[in-house]
A and B are shown apart, each in its own frame.
Chain A
Amino acid sequence: QSVLTQPPSLSAAPGQRVTISCSGSSSDVGNNFVFWYQQLPGRAPRLLIYDNSKRPSGIPDRFSGSKSGRSATLGITGLQTGDEADYYCGTWDDRLNAVVFGGGTRLTVL
């Protein structure tokens, strides 16, 4: 059972916008930066968002991140079939003194 809670799956049509939630507690999301990873089928995860809302170079601005209190959100606009992947949130847990991840959200672009 993951420390951070994400919806197991989501689906949306090409061109639409989707949001993926990540909820935690005061010792993790509530007190630390949130990071998002994209894992395409058969591939290693890739850093998508860091420090809640910043994009590494090379990540399209269709991807955005935000955080409020104990919850964070990943937004993807203009969905493409190539966005079909598993998405994970991660953060530091002050209580465990460890990095923790969400269980992942499988995004299907119909």
Chain B
Amino acid sequence: QVHLQESGPGLVKPSQTLSLTCTVSGDSITSGTYYWSWIRQPAGKGLEWIGRFYASGSTTYNPSLKSRVSISVDTSKNQFSLKLTSVTAADTALYYCARDIGTKRAWFDPWGQGTLVTVSS
């Protein structure tokens, strides 16, 4: 059974960089079968797709965040990471990682439990 777990600081200061890691068990992120995505949800609001990573090294980002976001992978630990630069209060959200079928689909299964990141001084 595939399991994803997010981890990282719960508090980030404005203008700094948000860094989160997703640890995957039960599947290899480099197998090339799936993509791997980050999705966020501000409190009381809807879902926003941040971007996805594929085993080939290719990445696709939401245009609204593209200038500030990067997704990378640590194959030795079967982890993929999110970096979001120059954060503001608007980046405060619950951040989820999810397995993604990629292509032109919005198929995410399963999801991690999510990790709350607050941007505040």
Residues of A within 8 A of B (CB): 2, 32-35, 37, 44-47, 50-51, 56, 88, 90-92, 94, 96-104
Contact = CB atoms under 8 A, between A and B. Distances in A.
Contacts of A101: 46-49, 106
Nearest to A47: B109
A44 B103 CA distance: 23
B96 interface: yes
Given A44-B111, A44-B114, A45-B111, A98 B62 contact: yes
A35 B105 contact: yes
A99 B106 contact: yes
Contacts of B96: 44-45
Contacts of A45: 47, 96, 108, 111
A33 B105 contact: yes
Interface residues of B, number: 23
A interface: dominant SS: strand
Given A44-B96, A98-B62, A32 B46 contact: no
A2 B46 contact: yes
Interface in B60-110: 60-64, 96, 103-110
B63 A92 contact: no
